[in-house]
Amino acid sequence: MLKHLRWPNLLLMALLMFSMRYFLMAPIIQSHDLHLLLSHWSYAGLVLSCVLVAAGGYLINDYYDQEADHVNKPQKVLENPEKALNWYAILSVSGIALGALIGWQAGLLNLAIIHIIVTFLLWKYAESWKGIALLGHMVVAAFLAILVFVPILYEYIAISVLYREAAASARYLLYAGLAYATFAYLATLVRELAKAVEDIHGDQAAGYRTLPIKYGIPFTRTLAVIIQLVTLMLLLVFLVMQLQAKSWYTAAYIFLAVLLPGSLALVRLLKSNQLSDFATVSTRMKWFMLGGIGSLAFFYFDLMYL
């Protein structure tokens, strides 16, 4: 059962959430002699709650995707579907309950609605939305974007105090969160489109109407290219801003660890003809996303030590 949990993806999610708190939120809030509300252990519990919900999402996806997986990934087909369904319920309920507990500790119990909504979206995606052109890809991309804002929402009280004390810093924090959410959304959407092409034969066998099935591989590739171009252009604007501010180390990191892998993914996408090519694009997009997440740590160390 463990092999169905996509551990690299779960670790990437956890890295994103820890980076948001310790490399972006904490330095800004603490610079004004304020404190985050959640303790280190409580925040670790929040990260775990999100990872549990995501892990449950992977299991329910594999449960509904068995017919397609017999073609696309026969080595990963569920051996015991009923057991997987039980574990899905355990993981999802545990994630929701833990999220509610951490929300209560933060003085905002109603934040548990986030975990409930995400659990519903992941179930609905697996049950039917995955087979609808573009909709399923957008839902998965939205999940990563929501994940960026979860640390901010759970520290709503602390950020409200920050806004009263230093509105400019609070706005910077929110704008930075929006920027990373946008990056996560666009990069994930491109990766999902590449994966849809890679899995086209199994999806056809399952009766899905994904974007490449409904509109063709060339159209899907063109859409992915356009989205990736927009993403890279936004990053290029940010790079220019760093150069104008003479943040040389940050600019070098953005170029080498984010723009370069993203550009290589784009080149591969433009040349993709075989299904294996799209699998390579998917892998390169994961490195692209990892570089984007790593920029949070680099900005922090650039500011503090370089």
48-79: pLDDT as tens digits: 999 999 999 989 988 887 776 667 676 677 77
Q: For the chain, what are the domain ranges?
A: 2-295
100-125: pLDDT as tens digits: 999 898 888 888 899 999 999 999 98
The pLDDT score that the predictor gives to residue 2 is 58
Residue 24, C-beta contacts closer than 8 angstroms, at least 6 positions apart: 173, 176, 177, 296, 299, 300
Region for residue 61 given its phi and psi (left: phi exceeds 0; alpha: psi -120 to 50; beta: otherwise): alpha
Alpha helices by DSSP H, the chain: 7-19, 26-30, 40-64, 66-72, 81-105, 112-127, 135-153, 156-165, 167-198, 200-205, 211-215, 217-244, 248-253, 260-271, 275-304
Residue 49, C-beta contacts closer than 8 angstroms, at least 6 positions apart: 94, 95, 96, 98, 99, 102, 115
The pLDDT score that the predictor gives to residue 303 is 63
Give SS3 for 296: helix
The pLDDT score that the predictor gives to residue 69 is 66
The pLDDT score that the predictor gives to residue 74 is 63
Distances from the Cα of 133 to the Cαs of 31, 92, 201, 209, in angstroms? 46, 26, 15, 6
Task: Look up the pTM and report it.
Answer: 0.92
Closest to 285 measured CA to CA, from 212, 224, 222: 224
The pLDDT score that the predictor gives to residue 4 is 63
Closest to 197 measured CA to CA, from 123, 269, 266, 126: 269
The pLDDT score that the predictor gives to residue 112 is 86
Angle between helices 275-304 and 7-19 in degrees, nearest 10: 30
Is 5 within 8 Å of 283 (Cβ atoms)?
Answer: no
Residue 280, C-beta contacts closer than 8 angstroms, at least 6 positions apart: 268, 272
Give SS3 for 132: strand
Give SS3 for 209: strand
* Ordered mean pLDDT values, 10 residues apiece, the chain (306 residues): 73 94 92 90 95 92 77 71 86 94 86 92 88 85 90 91 90 92 94 90 82 91 96 94 86 92 94 86 92 88 64
